[in-house]
Amino acid sequence: MVGRTDVKVSVIVPVYNVEKELPRCIESLLTQTYSNFELLLINDGSSDGSPEIMERYAEKDSRIRTLHKKNGGVSSARNRGLEQAKGEYVCFVDADDAVAPQYMEWLYLALRQSGEAVAICRDVRVNDFEKEVPFKALPEKMPETERMDLRQYTFWDENGCLWCCRGMMKTESLRDIRFDEELSIGEDALFMAKALLKAGGYIYLPCGLYAYYMRDGSALHQETFKPKQFSEITAWERIYALIREQRRPGEERMERTAEERLAVVCAHVYYRMAGSDHADPELQAKIVRMAREHWRAALRVPNSKKREKSKLWMLICCPAAGRWMWRLGKKLKQG
């Protein structure tokens, strides 16, 4: 692969202590219906057998390039991949997930046919412990795509994208965009917000080509609060500020819903912190002040998000009662 200049797609896969799941991910990429790609496997300081697995696959397939670095987090690994990517287009895959055989082909065609800089598909949530089959509902042919303009964009739309793994992007459009390595949660959303603002819109492919495997300890399956989760608030503060600064006329909806998501994230982090071993009264007071600053956004949160909206208003009006109700709910859940 060294020296090739004709590669069309670069696939960036950060690898950190995923020896059990990594073969599934790599196999799903090597069996793609589109073959003109390079696979960048970036070892982010793994201490298990992941590096050896990477090298074994690289010996068998010349499309694979392996890189090894000290542990710095998923953002630093993805940034390393962006620096090394040779493809005209780039996409990201997490090492404990998998993709449909058509993942690269259909996203690539969506970009080539539309001329857009960003293409986004749906994802499929899979319970890893139940051994579900993720892509059984895929259509036989590539479905029609839809051009999504940022004037209609909302951060509540399920067809939107806050996660880089659901998309493919023109590499050139990302030359001045990188993942924020200071953030441990929300870095995807900030990266995608930058990419979408630069592109002015995206092409949407309405089918689930990416399988997100939910397992114990995964980002969407954590029960306990960890201090790093406060960075989710920081990420949404930056997203809201970025959109206020860069949005074009007619894109006010994107700005309004970014503020709504910021307010809801305040409640989400606050109540996960409450009652945990990392409860910080000073930090909690800061979150309450922030939520109250955005009370108008709380009014606009869609009624379809009743649970999130009620938690947010409890935080704004009576956080102490909210903490009590959260602890009670947790005890009832635990039996």
Domain match, 159 and 271 both = no
Residue 277 Cα distances to 220, 221, 273, 274, 318, angstroms: 20, 19, 8, 9, 22
* Of the residues 192, 214, 236, the one at which a domain ends: 214
pLDDT at position 4 is: 47
Q: Is residue 83 part of a domain?
A: yes
In this structure, of 215-219, 262-266, 288-292, the range with the lowest mean pLDDT score is 215-219
State phi, psi for 61 to the nearest 5 degrees: -135, 120
Residue scoring higher pLDDT (308 or 329): 308
Domain match, 193 and 257 both = no
Domain match, 152 and 240 both = no
Residue scoring higher pLDDT (226 or 111): 111
Using alpha carbons, select from 87, 93, 91 the residue that is nearest to residue 14.
Answer: 93
Q: How confident is the model at residue 158 (pLDDT cuts 50, 70, 90)?
A: confident
pLDDT at position 281 is: 87
Using alpha carbons, select from 201, 176, 192, 173 the residue that is nearest to residue 236.
Answer: 192
Q: How confident is the model at residue 220 (pLDDT cuts 50, 70, 90)?
A: very low
Whether the pLDDT of residue 311 is over 60: the answer is yes
* Count of structural domains within the chain: 2
Map residue 275 onto helix, strand or coil: coil
pLDDT at position 3 is: 44
Domain match, 150 and 250 both = no
Using alpha carbons, select from 302, 222, 299, 209 the residue that is nearest to residue 268.
Answer: 222
Task: Summarize the confidence of residues 74-95 as an average pLDDT.
Answer: 97
pLDDT at position 330 is: 61
* Of the residues 214, 236, 270, the one at which a domain ends: 214
Domain match, 74 and 185 both = yes
Torsion angle (degrees, nearest 10) of CA 245, 300, 230, 195: -40
* Of the residues 190, 214, 238, the one at which a domain ends: 214
Task: Summarize the confidence of residues 90-117 as an average pLDDT.
Answer: 97
Domain match, 173 and 239 both = no
Domain match, 231 and 183 both = no
Q: What is the pTM of this model?
A: 0.90
pLDDT at position 137 is: 82
pLDDT at position 7 is: 76
Domain match, 53 and 79 both = yes
Residue 145 maps to which CATH number? 3.90.550.10
> Domain of 318?
227-334
Domain match, 169 and 233 both = no
Q: Is residue 2 part of a domain?
A: no
CA 255/CA 262 separation, integer angstroms: 11
Convert the pLDDT of each residue in 14-73 to its tens digit.
999 999 999 999 999 999 999 999 999 999 999 999 999 999 999 999 999 999 999 999
Whether the pLDDT of residue 168 is over 80: the answer is yes
Task: Summarize the confidence of residues 76-91 as an average pLDDT.
Answer: 97
Q: Name the H helices within the chain.
A: 22-30, 50-60, 74-84, 103-114, 187-199, 231-246, 252-273, 281-293, 295-300, 306-317, 319-334
Domain match, 202 and 56 both = yes
CA 224/CA 206 separation, integer angstroms: 34
Whether the pLDDT of residue 106 is over 70: the answer is yes
Q: Is residue 1 part of a domain?
A: no
Domain match, 240 and 120 both = no
Tokens of 51: 């590096």
Convert the pLDDT of each residue in 222-260 to its tens digit.
456 677 888 999 999 999 999 999 989 999 999 999 999
Domain match, 169 and 87 both = yes
